[in-house]
Amino acid sequence: MRAFIAMELSPQVKESLRKLINDLKSRNIKGRWVPPENIHLTLRFLGNIEEDQVKAIEQLLEEVAEEADPFQISLEGLGAFPHPARPRVLWVGVKEGTTTLQRLYQIIEKGLVRLGFPPNDKSFKPHLTLARFKNPLERTRRLVHQTCKEFQEKEWDRMEATSVILFESILSPQGAQYRKVKEVYLGGGSQSGHHSQKDQA
């Protein structure tokens, strides 16, 4: 199955992102927008994993959950990879909570390498993806660059991070659906989930 490890956003944060996306769309920024209900704080994309790897990853997440209690995350700023003037991915950044997220990421990364996954060669920068651009026109590039400057230090919202989730991504012609395979609660405790989310992107 195609899988990734992520944190779910609170309904309030999703609503804040919905308003932000509507604002950005109204500025005529043309991109492939992620539906707000589908935005996650991704810790590690896994790609296709075998059924027999799932149990080992679930055990790894149990270990991760013991390494941190619930903590505050603040969402701040707007940026783009690889650069606001050459946008491929438009994102909202994370300010408060970054140190804890980095620590959880390192534990996940070490555990995955121990399980035989190739190391992730990209440095981890916590962010929420809002939109993707394939070949953005000059006008879109200029708008993204301007808007990122304008919102560089704006705080959008904050939330308490309480769990880490192994998601399955099910691709379909209507977009991707996300199913919770395993949710572990920070500070210990877990449950398996079968909750689906629909992606219209």
Residues 141-162 pLDDT 10s: 999 999 999 999 999 999 999 9
**Rounded (10°) CA dihedral 2, 25, 91, 185:** -60
Amino acid at 155: E
pLDDT digits (tens, 9 = 90+) for 74-98: 999 999 999 999 999 999 999 999 9
Catalytic residue among 83, 127, 145, 195: 127
Q: What's the distance, Cα to Cα, between the start and end of the chain in Å?
A: 20
Whose tokens are 């990364």? That residue is 109
Rounded CA separation 108/66 (Å):
12
For the question of residue 127 being annotated catalytic, the response is yes
* Residue numbers of the domain that contains 58: 2-198
Task: State how many domains the chain has.
Answer: 1
Catalytic residue among 40, 83, 145, 195: 40
For the question of residue 195 being annotated catalytic, the response is no
CATH code of the domain covering residue 100: 3.90.1140.10
For the entire predicted model, the pTM comes to: 0.89
